Structure 1
Amino acid sequence: MTEKILVDFHGTGSGVGDLTWGQRTVWRTVVKTGHSETMGGITALPPGTTVEQSAMVLRYVMGRHQSLRTRLVFDKPDGGPRQQVHTSGQVALAVVDAGAEDPAEVAERVKAEYEDADFDYAQEWPVRMAVVTKDGEPTHSVAVYSHLAIDAHGLDALVSDLATMDWATGEPTLPLTATQPLELAEQQRKPNVLRNSEAALRYWERVLRTVSAKRVEGESDDHRSPRWGDLSLRSPASWLATKAIAARLGTDTSPVLLAGYACALARTVGNNPVAVQIAVNNRFRQSLVGSVSTMAQTCPLMVDLADAGFDEAVHRARQATMVTYKYAYYDPEKRAAMVDRVAEELGGRVEMDTYFNDRRPPGRDEHELVAPPAEEILAARGSSTHEWVMWTDVDSPLLYLDVDAEPDAIVFTLTGDTTRVAPKSMLDLLTEIETVLVDAALDPGATTGIRS
């Protein structure tokens, strides 16, 4: 059984304006795929939580953050949307009785339903929230947001800001100073910001004119239907090896994993120089750190692995990442026009549809990593496991690697287009990452294996 509670909210600030670059980037994906992009998750509630408290949280975040009080208006001659921030309104909180079912399973089902249903951008608020109850007691909260309103770092900002709510009154205890989307869209029209965008586009063009036209060599001999598959590899050996390499080099683990993926890609289905896109949160000014909005954009990272030791590859990956962070803030329509122009000049498009996404928490402490014994790394190689997680015909990237962490393992999840990369080749790519990392952990002189 599901009950709907209408929650009134009121906040400061309203108006109509253009979408930000981050929102326009997401909108281009929505138009391409025909499906909403979402963010969110499930929170287990402590005993004693009430439905009224959940309604208070929903009322607080809606009033506090303009991005959650935003709907789209389609009044432009080209049919593209603008955003309209509302001062007040009502939003529904669903209360779902789990009955005899496991409330955790009910919460997962509600989350999946929220993610699968496209948002009505003109009529619906960009947040769907539910409370799952068992015997009348709330056990889980489910929240799913439109990606047009929030990205991963915006979600972190939302959670952090929730700590400023007075739980007795539901009112904020601190003023909100972070930049809001309407203000950000205005900033992106200023000459100095537009110059940053032009510099980013010049970097993009250099990459397009440097790398091979294809990220994946050849075609697949094992097309599947549905077309795209998600393959997950859980690798304790990769985590141990990554720690060993990072401890040896005095660096954090992200560039080690990026170098491992780049080497494996070039050794198996790809080529060199390696080009992958990474998502950059673009919150480099203090006024943007706490912004509950969508600011992330992707940018190509190019790294040449030829004739290099693996330790040098890690250094190159780190340097390439710094360059990418600098050039990930740009006007997406102007970028698309530049890509079209370069494709015409080169006589064909350069594929840039391969991604690396380290989803581990950015604030993790890796200052005192200890290299595990070689014997432990070797022994862990036999405990890797893999599974096919999902198949879909929703338009997806050529290759997209997510990196997640468990206490004793790295989990690689690779989305691949089976018309270009056979399922066996996807598995070979993931297992090659483990091989690259283990070899480099055990031998400081290990090379990338890539020749010029």
Structure 2
Amino acid sequence: MRTEGEAADAAEVGGAAGSAGPVVPAAAERVAVDFAGEGEGLEEMSWGMWEIWQAMGRQRNQLPIGGRSPVEPGTTLDDLAAELRYLMERFPSMRTRLRFAPGGRALQQLFSAGQVTLEVYDAPADADPLEVAAAVEERYCSEPFDFAGQWPVRMAAVRQHGRPVQRVTVMHHLVTDGLGGAIMLGQVRARNTEPVGGMQQLEQARWQRSAEGRRQSERALRHFEGVLRSMPAQQLPGPTDPREPRHWGAQFHSAALTAALPAIAARTGTAVPGILLGLFAVGLYRATGISPVVVRPVVNNRFRAVFADVVCMVAQAGVCAVDVAGASAAEAVERAGRGSTTAYRHAYFDPEALDELVERVSIERGEDANIRTYFNNRSTYALPAETGREMDPQELAGELRAASRDTVFHWFAREEAQRERFFVHVDDTPEGGLRFEIRVDTHYVSPAQAEAFAYAMEAAAIEAALGEGAAQEVEGETAGTPAPGMVAEAAAGSE
């Protein structure tokens, strides 16, 4: 059976459809950077690579990661070339390309040596170099990668008055997941020189074919099968208010939700990832009325010792069903905390075998058994050290009441680019809070339902922190908050 990953070729997995790319100045220089690292070989793609390759195929996007950043004063082009050389030599995933076997199947090929290019762009004396860097970044992200013929990284220096002032580094998502990217940045800053540890991609692929690897995948798929056979036929509302462009993106900032987390942890004994998953489940249930909430939480898998410090794709999406109907917010959080532990333990598996399982269950049930609801907690938020200290309920209610007045929900994208049906990312903010990015296919979740989901998460956080009665008092005193759906209707009116 051909999987979505096998069917996706370089054209399908290219940049955003219809994007002509930004206008950027021509490169003033191209610095050739030679590198030589350890290891080489040809293997099947690892499970983590397969999963993100499938996602890239579904979304017809290379899902680029990276960005731009200022360079330290005094940094030279030689310094940036040395940084690029370090990246290529230290991390095997940076020296990995795809090779397409007869029939189109993608394999990974690790090279021990090669040459990569550092591009240099000059910003005019009266220009903002950040704008030049942004244009280069946008081009790097939108221009399709040649997965077989190019290295998976693009790096540029933006120079002004003869010295580098900005760097731009963009990779396609086969290189690493979010936590791997953070590990990479930390090692680049420290210039670690000891040998890289952990199980790298070629070794992962070999282990996954072993008897132990097959047993791991089979255990995980038994968990998936239990959810697939018992989940409700309808996971999302469907086309109640389909829009064109079809895919919408919103950001949601709630200081009240973040401020409630320590109290929720103290009341429920649940860690932050479980709390956030529980609030997600309550929010989606209250916005759609569908329970249990079936979701695929993205799991970084770094709790597995062999992956603790690796820079490659090992994150995979597990599966969790949270029964929310009739539960208080605190009860739902506790259920999600228990369910997430099971989901995380079973989030390492063969994606091709999962495709076969989903296809078989779909035929047996007579309905689509694909799950396209995702929750990706990318935050590093940690509870304050004083968590556990009992806070005066009146004081906490006052804090949450004040914080909820600053809640912001806004749509920032309406596009035809292919997306999943419902995908929520959680990221850190520079101020130490959390930001939710909500991506919806409006043929499955309407704009008003997406907005209602966001405000329902905040309300559930306040309820779980204070108890239902006290939470209702707080909600009653923040009547100035836009009613869920108002922002979506305003956005529709502006089309």
- Same fold judged by TM-score > 0.5? yes
Aligned residues: 439
Match of 1:429 in 2: 453
Deviation track 1:309-353 (CA, whole Å, cap 9, x = no partner) reads 322222211111110111111111111001000000000113411
Question: Cα offset for 1:91?
Answer: 0.6
Match of 2:259 in 1: 240
Match of 1:393 in 2: 416
The equivalent position to 2:169 in structure 1, one of 132, 135, 143, is 143
Report if aligned partners of 1:309, 1:445 keep a CA contact under 8 Å in 2: no
What is the distance in 2 between the residues matched to 1:109 and 1:437?
39
Deviation track 1:184-235 (CA, whole Å, cap 9, x = no partner) reads 11111110111110111111111011111221124222x2222100011211
Question: Cα offset for 1:240?
Answer: 1.8
Question: Cα offset for 1:377?
Answer: 0.9
What is the distance in 2 between the residues matched to 1:4 and 1:201?
48
What is the distance in 2 between the residues matched to 1:340 and 1:245?
39
Deviation track 1:26-68 (CA, whole Å, cap 9, x = no partner) reads 2222232332122212222221111111100110110112211
Secondary structure in 2 aligned to 1:440? Answer: helix
Report if aligned partners of 1:238, 1:409 keep a CA contact under 8 Å in 2: no
The residue type paired with residue 104 of structure 2 is G
The equivalent position to 2:237 in structure 1, one of 214, 217, 222, is 217
Report if aligned partners of 1:252, 1:366 keep a CA contact under 8 Å in 2: no
Report if aligned partners of 2:330, 2:463 keep a CA contact under 8 Å in 1: no
Q: Does 1:285 align with 2:304?
A: yes
Report if aligned partners of 2:261, 2:383 keep a CA contact under 8 Å in 1: no
Secondary structure in 2 aligned to 1:154? Answer: helix
Match of 1:117 in 2: 143
What is the distance in 2 between the residues matched to 1:234 and 1:435?
13
Match of 1:25 in 2: 51
Q: Does 1:188 align with 2:216?
A: no
- Percent of counterpart pairs with the same letter? 37
Report if aligned partners of 2:238, 2:443 keep a CA contact under 8 Å in 1: no
Match of 1:417 in 2: 441
What is the distance in 2 between the residues matched to 1:20 and 1:419?
33
What is the distance in 1 between the residues matched to 2:302 and 2:273?
19
Mapping for residues 122-271 of structure 1, pairs under 5 Å = 122-163=148-189, 165=191, 173-221=193-241, 223-271=242-290
The equivalent position to 2:332 in structure 1, one of 313, 316, 320, is 313
Match of 2:400 in 1: 377
Closer/same/farther in 2, CA of residues 138 and 426 from structure 1, 3 Å limit: same
What is the distance in 1 between the residues matched to 2:269 and 2:217?
34
Closer/same/farther in 2, CA of residues 198 and 250 from structure 1, 3 Å limit: closer
What is the distance in 1 between the residues matched to 2:225 and 2:353?
12
Match of 1:440 in 2: 464
Question: Cα offset for 1:164?
Answer: 5.1
Report if aligned partners of 1:73, 1:122 keep a CA contact under 8 Å in 2: yes
Match of 1:78 in 2: 103
Report if aligned partners of 1:70, 1:84 keep a CA contact under 8 Å in 2: yes
Secondary structure in 1 aligned to 2:265? Answer: helix
Closer/same/farther in 2, CA of residues 286 and 317 from structure 1, 3 Å limit: same
What is the distance in 2 between the residues matched to 1:23 and 1:116?
21
Report if aligned partners of 1:237, 1:409 keep a CA contact under 8 Å in 2: no
Question: Cα offset for 1:159?
Answer: 1.9
Q: Following TM superposition, where does structure 1 have runs of at least 4 consecutive aligned residues deviating by more than 4 angstroms?
A: 444-447
Moved more, 106-115 or 365-374: 365-374
What is the distance in 1 between the residues matched to 2:277 and 2:75?
42
Question: Cα offset for 1:286?
Answer: 2.9
What is the distance in 2 between the residues matched to 1:254 and 1:286?
19
What is the distance in 1 between the residues matched to 2:197 and 2:427?
32
Moved more, 30-39 or 426-435: 30-39
Report if aligned partners of 1:255, 1:317 keep a CA contact under 8 Å in 2: yes
Moved more, 366-375 or 151-160: 366-375
Secondary structure in 2 aligned to 1:275? Answer: strand
Q: Whose relative contact order is higher, 1 or 2, with alpha carbons under 8 Å and at least 6 apart? A: 1
Secondary structure in 2 aligned to 1:317? Answer: helix
Match of 1:273 in 2: 292
Q: Does 1:368 align with 2:386?
A: yes
Match of 1:169 in 2: none
- Structure 2 gaps, min length 5: 1-24, 472-495
The residue type paired with residue 339 of structure 2 is A
What is the distance in 2 between the residues matched to 1:208 and 1:255?
21
Report if aligned partners of 1:400, 1:415 keep a CA contact under 8 Å in 2: yes
Deviation track 1:112-151 (CA, whole Å, cap 9, x = no partner) reads 2211111101110001111222222222221111211211
Deviation track 1:363-405 (CA, whole Å, cap 9, x = no partner) reads x354433656211211222221222111222221111111223
What is the distance in 1 between the residues matched to 2:93 and 2:433?
36
Report if aligned partners of 1:215, 1:275 keep a CA contact under 8 Å in 2: yes
Report if aligned partners of 1:309, 1:446 keep a CA contact under 8 Å in 2: no
The residue type paired with residue 402 of structure 1 is H
- Structure 1 gaps, min length 5: 166-171, 448-452
The equivalent position to 1:294 in structure 2, one of 313, 317, 331, is 313
The residue type paired with residue 436 of structure 2 is F
Closer/same/farther in 2, CA of residues 286 and 324 from structure 1, 3 Å limit: same
What is the distance in 2 between the residues matched to 1:311 and 1:427?
22
Secondary structure in 1 aligned to 2:114? Answer: strand
Match of 2:368 in 1: 349
Aligned-residue RMSD, C-alpha: 2.1
